[in-house]
Structure 1
Amino acid sequence: MALKEYKPGQAFSGVIGRTFDVSQPAWPSPNRARDGAPNVLFIVLDDTGYGQLGCYGSPIRTPHLDALAADGLLYNNMHTTALCSPSRSCMITGRNHHSNGMACITEGSMGYPGSNGYIPFENGMLPEILLQNGYNTYALGKWHLTPAEATSAAGPYDRWPLGRGFERYYGFLGGDTHQYYPELVSDNHQVEPETTPEQGYHLTPDLVARAKAMIADAKQVAPDKPFFMYFCTGAMHAPHHVPKEWADRYKGQFDEGWDAYRRKVFERQKALGIIPANTELSRHDPDVQDWGTLPADERRLYARMMEVFAGFLEHTDHYIGELIAFLKEIGEYDNTLIMLISDNGASAEGGPNGSVNEGKFFNNVPDDLQQNLAAIDDIGGPKYFNHYPWGWTHAGNTPFRRWKRETYRGGTADPFIVCWPKGIKAKGEIRTQYCHAIDMVPTVLDCLGIEPPTHIRGVTQAPLQGFSLKSSFDDAKAPALHVTQYFEMFGHRSLYHDGWRAVCPWPGTSFAESGRVFGDPIDYDMLIQLDAKGWELYNLNEDFAETHNLAERERDRLIAMIGMWYAEAGKYNVLPIDSRGTLRFGVERPQIAVGRKKYVYYPGTQVVPGNAAPRLINVPHSVSVHAQVPPGGAEGVLFCMGGNDGGFSFYVQDGKLTYGYNYVADKRFKVQSDEAIPEGQHIFSFEFTPTGKPDIAKGKGVPAKIALFVDGKKIGSGDLPVTIPLQLGLAAGVALGADTGAPVMEDYAAPFAFTGEVKKAMVDVSGEAVEDMESKMRMYLARQ
């Protein structure tokens, strides 16, 4: 007899007698998806420009992504917010980024509803919806949607992936990570990669292997149960890391430079029909060097940086191809709705000359051309946190102007491919309907026949703000449903309405023309001036690449659109406008534990992320570690914060207590004790005392004196002529007893675990001198 079921929450439908033989069982029915429901796969690339995929006209080989476009649809009018976390919040909620509290990346959050970094629970995420409808839900790779101060082991975990509807997660919570030494989280806890770079480890194949395993785990038990997978590579964000043989495939292919690349891609885009035939290529950007005037060494360096990027992208395509091949192998490909997108345009965070350490950008430190040239043979390997120069950024966004962080189309127009063999009849066609990342969730729900829920876990849901694209799947001429869309990023504003775009650039049309730099503030008086004279206007129906400013000719239309921008800003919590760039990273944010001057850490615990760790930038502080040194001595890391892109390490080497400081991989300083450390239990300390003032605008933190102590007795000292002004390494968490990531210092190999026993450590930011507090310190460490 078939099992009898009833829906949970309804009355029991069986029969209950006095004994089992006169009773009839009934069971709460499992949460099953409707028959034939498709799987859903989002593939999110990072920092990939409109002109960088092969199917969008690029010379970079992306055969597997091209095959998705050939088996589905390529959209030429998709838009994002111009920055990663904000765009990703749109993709996964169907609401605008300010509605999600994501005006900026989480590390740049501010205390206003539109920018606090806390995605409201009333803005339900797609996995939360699909979980209610019988789906398995998986997230892999980059997350960057949890407030940075809430990514530690103290939580709260309600805004981690598993708190927002995903059943399983494997990836990194921050904005980028070292591809050879990633900061990995599995579900709700930190893990280390199972192999090393020397053994061939790289994050992308690791993510693909985990993705295939997650799907297989469930499909072997419930083959008809659909899944939603949110697969987000660390690629193509810096660091551009790829095994050398992949980069070498492109040797010599970029020697003609970025202007030649733009011209070739532009003509290819026209030939493919990606852009309208009447499109004019946007101008050579004033901030980009003329390739022909560059010295030969610079051209050689920049070409190699692009070879590395191209190899990185082909490598990424290869492993995404493995994931797609796996879906075909298990018979799931035809009924999987795949959406591939980039989160913003190509990135200019490498500056005009490229960088071997992206951390310099976040600390206002100019790049050193000679240092970059010296690194040329190792770019792409684990030693550097490299990024190409913004000439390649501009080229990567062909045919548009500008780049990531700005709301010209170079920052906001992105690749978008939709493939669903069972659900879309059209193959290999181009779609021109205007769309935005907020349209992805409504499209999925429309395809699945699911109504947006009114409640999720008891929380009343806000309306979706995007529009379904389903009508365009099999009708190239279907009218675009998305008619109006605002943009704002770091004070750079624009508005799309019915084929027109109004743009108010900040800090200007270019740095060279405005005389300003990224992060210059917009105060109230400046905003008034910008609204009066700073807006531009483009007719996209005739000017796809924003090359002809019609602001004077269409003044009435422009004024109306400026007013419309403010109406949208009021509707979606856009104000206040805050153009301060990297300075926002230093803003104090709420912590779970407040008012602390002393922090105690224990061995065997998870790395404490930088935003939940004590802020040791430009302030006096000390670190003391209670450790046991065995007979014969010990070596290794006692305490560290940062990675090979910047930070400090407190360690024992050659028997001597050592303090090492990595200034954004530009300079490294070392202070060692005058004598060997003693055996037995001791408290090893260093004291950081500022000796001058910082110059943050020029990328310089305070100079400082370092003093080393054993049990409160000074055993060495030295000076730091310069320190990091804003942010230690991009993953600058507290690690005790080992340097678990890319090593801070070059004179040891990770993890350089301490060979004695670390018992506890204390960080003190009270300013109290170590030699005056040694006895108190012993008592404090003993109590904790």
Structure 2
Amino acid sequence: MNKVILTCLGALLTMQGFAQNAKPAKPNIILILADDLGYSDLGAYGSEIKTPNLDRLANEGLRLKEFYNNSICAPTRASLLTGQYQHKAGVGYFANDLGIPAYQGYLNKESLTLAEVLKTQGYSTLMSGKWHVAGKEVSFPWQRGFDHVMMSENGSYFDQGDFEGGKKRAYTIDGKPYPLEAGKFYQTDVITENAVKFLDQNPKDKPFFLYLAYTAPHWPLHALPEDIAKYKGRYDKGWDVLRAERIKKQKELGIIDEKSSISEKDADIYNWNKLSFDQRSQWAKKMEIFAAMVDRLDQGIGQVLNKLKATGADKNTIILFISDNGAPAEDLVKWYKGAVRNSGPVGTIGSYESQSKNWSYASNSPLKAFKDYMYEGGISSPFIAWYPAKIKPGTLKKGTGHIIDIAPTFYDLAGATYPKSYQGITPNTLAGKSLLPVLFGNDNELKRDEPLFWERAGNRAVRAGKWKLVSTWPGYNWELYNLETDRGETTNVARQNHDVVSRLSVAYFDWAKRTGVVDFATLEAKEPQSMKEFRKSKVQEAVSEGFGF
């Protein structure tokens, strides 16, 4: 009897030893990216738009008050996917080749992608959605470490005929054409459906990395009738009232401080009270559709969450949600050669319109400016992190994170060592820092060895502690803001702080030299005309048209 007891006890101790020595399972990782979503466009950041799934992730996880992107689509994606400043990754300007390596318009081989690194750690690497960092038939996701890919390019949400004049298909699966019948699909749903399918097919014993890159709510304004109907009449009060409502809620949520400044209204934002009844109705309809697009995106995230729970993967999955830039100022009807097409009511398959600067003024509440600017409204994103095993519910922190920090965060989570050599190439070193001390620890914001820097088409910025240095092309003058009290960037204090301006500007030019930034004056001649117009795309209809200012 004693021998039996001793034998059982020995077996039990052996099993405990194995359990103690066994490595914990690597966490599954989901990175969700929205396109052209403003800082305040989620319920958890002050919005009236119905986003229950993202709000749930925020309430059960963490939000950051300050998280930065690169102000525009392709440069943000380049940094997000590689952990490099966009110039180092080859996408210094946009998805255009300006004839210089830092501005070639697609990812270079020296900048390893999240998929390439995580794949070395045994991860399945999955992607569904927008890529926008390939060129010259190279650097597509299936060439840069992803196992399974459904790629959708920007354009109509209901058909593929507007993408490069119909010469190329806007949808592919693992590099092969993915035929979809016009009017029989909705792009956001296609992205969600394929993400869910990839998760369902992933081996149960293999960790996965899913890059879920929605095109919504980027223009054109296209939405499903049942989603639009939810918001009928909601925006009849106009953008000024909406902005005030959102700011009030942001203060209640703690997203902005009661004493913090609020950005000032641009002179060319229309005066809602001077619009005619028909004009107000047309503008309100645009925002109803925009809200419906965000709503459908959130519904898709809900489907992903349901699949995680059904497979049991939710118990060991971290989810991060961000946007690629602030809400946009461009008005497609006025921009460059006009809309690609516009033959039907706004929101339908034949239409091609945008919410424009007027509604984006509310979307970016309480911040200044818009997509492509280096003011807070252009580079600030909502940031939600959810990981029940590690993140305390309802956490709200300052953060001051940046997209270059995502890669080191994921590698930290996966226990990955960033390679010094990869397929005969010496990779660029990572520029950011792991966010884990903020996400899991007690740190309120990320501690850095040097400031954060930005440059895009001549627009520049530096962030160091409470200070933010900004200049807007074609000017070279620096503006300085104290973001501790002036997040709205209302008071330029450069003249009162010459030493700070000098110190941060010297740091900027040192960074620019190290990173491959070229003075935009030497590149402007190579800039495509459409992009020149994009930078100038401000809503400036004459008062004689009856809009007023």
**Interval of TM-score (by shorter of Structure 1 and Structure 2):** 0.7 to 0.9
Q: Which runs of 5+ in 2 are unaligned?
A: 1-21, 161-169, 538-549
Asked if structure 2 preserves the Cα contact closer than 8 Å seen for 1:134 and 1:225, the reply is yes
Determine the structure 2 residue equivalent to 1:251. 232
- Structure ranking higher on relative contact order (CA contacts 8 Å, 6+ apart): 2
Mapped partners of 1:487, 1:276: distance in 2? 25
Determine the structure 2 residue equivalent to 1:47. 36
Alignment of 1:558-573 (within 5 A): 558-573=501-516
Q: How far off is 1:304 after superposition? A: 0.6
Determine the structure 2 residue equivalent to 1:133. 121
TM score, norm. by length of structure 1? 0.62
Report percent identity of matched pairs. Answer: 31
**Range that drifts further, 340-349 or 555-564:** 555-564
Q: How far off is 1:104 after superposition? A: 2.4
Q: Pick the aligned partner of 1:399 from 354, 366, 369.
A: 366
Query: Cα distance 1:303–1:698, how it changes in 2: closer, same or farther (>3 A)?
Result: closer
Mapped partners of 1:272, 1:209: distance in 2? 33
Determine the structure 2 residue equivalent to 1:494. 461
* Residue 308 in structure 1 maps to residue 292 in structure 2: no
Asked if structure 2 preserves the Cα contact closer than 8 Å seen for 1:431 and 1:476, the reply is no
* Residue 240 in structure 1 maps to residue 232 in structure 2: no
Determine the structure 1 residue equivalent to 2:388. 421
* Structure 2 SS opposite 1:571: helix
Determine the structure 2 residue equivalent to 1:647. none
Aligned amino acid, residue 91 of structure 1: L
Query: Cα distance 1:105–1:543, how it changes in 2: closer, same or farther (>3 A)?
Result: same
* Structure 1 SS opposite 2:371: coil
Q: How far off is 1:581 after superposition? A: 7.9
Structural RMSD (CA): 2.5
Mapped partners of 2:91, 2:506: distance in 1? 23
Asked if structure 2 preserves the Cα contact closer than 8 Å seen for 1:129 and 1:456, the reply is no
Rg larger in structure: 1
Mapped partners of 2:109, 2:115: distance in 1? 13
Q: How far off is 1:296 after superposition? A: 2.1
Q: In the TM superposition, what whole-angstrom CA distance separates every residue of 1:337-364 from its partner, at most 9, and x where no partner exists?
A: 111110000011226xxx4xxxx62xx1
Asked if structure 1 preserves the Cα contact closer than 8 Å seen for 2:67 and 2:401, the reply is yes
Determine the structure 1 residue equivalent to 2:147. 167
Asked if structure 2 preserves the Cα contact closer than 8 Å seen for 1:41 and 1:231, the reply is yes
Q: How far off is 1:287 after superposition? A: 2.4
Q: Which runs of 5+ in 1 are unaligned?
A: 1-32, 507-521, 523-529, 588-694, 700-784
Asked if structure 2 preserves the Cα contact closer than 8 Å seen for 1:402 and 1:411, the reply is yes
Q: How far off is 1:584 after superposition? A: 2.2
* Structure 2 SS opposite 1:43: strand
Query: Cα distance 1:697–1:327, how it changes in 2: closer, same or farther (>3 A)?
Result: closer
Mapped partners of 1:51, 1:294: distance in 2? 25
Q: Pick the aligned partner of 1:282 from 243, 257, 263.
A: 263
* Residue 102 in structure 1 maps to residue 91 in structure 2: yes
Determine the structure 2 residue equivalent to 1:187. 174
TM score, norm. by length of structure 2? 0.87
* Structure 2 SS opposite 1:411: helix
Alignment of 1:66-215 (within 5 A): 66-106=55-95, 108-147=96-135, 150=136, 155=137, 157=138, 159-172=139-152, 174=153, 176-182=154-160, 183-193=170-180, 195-197=181-183, 199=184, 201-215=185-199
Determine the structure 1 residue equivalent to 2:3. none
Q: How far off is 1:239 after superposition? A: 1.3
Determine the structure 2 residue equivalent to 1:727. none
Q: In the TM superposition, what whole-angstrom CA distance separates every residue of 1:77-125 from its partner, at most 9, and x where no partner exists?
A: 100010111001111111101111112221x331123211232212111
Q: Pick the aligned partner of 1:335 from 313, 316, 334.
A: 316
Query: Cα distance 1:468–1:539, how it changes in 2: closer, same or farther (>3 A)?
Result: same
Aligned amino acid, residue 262 of structure 2: L
Alignment of 1:333-372 (within 5 A): 333-350=314-331, 355=333, 361=335, 364-365=336-337
Asked if structure 1 preserves the Cα contact closer than 8 Å seen for 2:262 and 2:487, the reply is no
Q: How far off is 1:497 after superposition? A: 1.2
Query: Cα distance 1:226–1:34, how it changes in 2: closer, same or farther (>3 A)?
Result: farther
Asked if structure 1 preserves the Cα contact closer than 8 Å seen for 2:330 and 2:534, the reply is no
Asked if structure 1 preserves the Cα contact closer than 8 Å seen for 2:405 and 2:433, the reply is yes
Query: Cα distance 1:478–1:260, how it changes in 2: closer, same or farther (>3 A)?
Result: closer
Asked if structure 1 preserves the Cα contact closer than 8 Å seen for 2:98 and 2:523, the reply is no
Determine the structure 2 residue equivalent to 1:763. none
* Residue 485 in structure 1 maps to residue 428 in structure 2: no
Determine the structure 2 residue equivalent to 1:538. 481
Asked if structure 2 preserves the Cα contact closer than 8 Å seen for 1:257 and 1:291, the reply is yes
Q: In the TM superposition, what whole-angstrom CA distance separates every residue of 1:346-404 from its partner, at most 9, and x where no partner exists?
A: 011226xxx4xxxx62xx13689xx98x95xx211111122112111111111111100
Alignment of 1:31-42 (within 5 A): 35-42=24-31
Q: In the TM superposition, what whole-angstrom CA distance separates every residue of 1:173-197 from its partner, at most 9, and x where no partner exists?
A: x4x121111410111122211x442
Mapped partners of 2:445, 2:337: distance in 1? 48
Determine the structure 2 residue equivalent to 1:672. none
* Structure 2 SS opposite 1:459: coil
Q: In the TM superposition, what whole-angstrom CA distance separates every residue of 1:272-295 from its partner, at most 9, and x where no partner exists?
A: 001122112111112211212222
Aligned amino acid, residue 128 of structure 2: L
Asked if structure 1 preserves the Cα contact closer than 8 Å seen for 2:460 and 2:470, the reply is yes
Asked if structure 2 preserves the Cα contact closer than 8 Å seen for 1:128 and 1:456, the reply is no
Mapped partners of 1:52, 1:698: distance in 2? 25
Q: Pick the aligned partner of 2:275 from 294, 310, 313.
A: 294
Mapped partners of 1:583, 1:411: distance in 2? 24
Asked if structure 1 preserves the Cα contact closer than 8 Å seen for 2:398 and 2:444, the reply is no
Q: Pick the aligned partner of 2:497 from 537, 549, 554.
A: 554
* Structure 1 SS opposite 2:211: strand
Aligned amino acid, residue 421 of structure 1: P
**Range that drifts further, 339-348 or 284-293:** 284-293
* Residue 472 in structure 1 maps to residue 438 in structure 2: yes
Asked if structure 2 preserves the Cα contact closer than 8 Å seen for 1:445 and 1:452, the reply is yes
Mapped partners of 1:581, 1:245: distance in 2? 45
* Residue 434 in structure 1 maps to residue 415 in structure 2: no
Mapped partners of 2:317, 2:80: distance in 1? 18
Determine the structure 1 residue equivalent to 2:540. none
Asked if structure 2 preserves the Cα contact closer than 8 Å seen for 1:69 and 1:428, the reply is yes
Mapped partners of 2:247, 2:535: distance in 1? 37
Q: In the TM superposition, what whole-angstrom CA distance separates every residue of 1:56-90 from its partner, at most 9, and x where no partner exists?
A: 00111111111111111111110001011100111
Aligned amino acid, residue 144 of structure 2: R
Number of residue pairs the alignment of both structures matches = 504
* Structure 2 SS opposite 1:456: coil
Q: How far off is 1:245 after superposition? A: 2.0
Query: Cα distance 1:216–1:257, how it changes in 2: closer, same or farther (>3 A)?
Result: same
Query: Cα distance 1:341–1:697, how it changes in 2: closer, same or farther (>3 A)?
Result: closer
Determine the structure 1 residue equivalent to 2:348. 381
Mapped partners of 1:51, 1:443: distance in 2? 25
* Structure 2 SS opposite 1:99: helix
Aligned amino acid, residue 324 of structure 1: L
Aligned amino acid, residue 413 of structure 2: C
Asked if structure 2 preserves the Cα contact closer than 8 Å seen for 1:95 and 1:438, the reply is yes
Query: Cα distance 1:476–1:49, how it changes in 2: closer, same or farther (>3 A)?
Result: farther
* Structure 2 SS opposite 1:70: helix
Query: Cα distance 1:308–1:229, how it changes in 2: closer, same or farther (>3 A)?
Result: same
Asked if structure 2 preserves the Cα contact closer than 8 Å seen for 1:446 and 1:468, the reply is yes
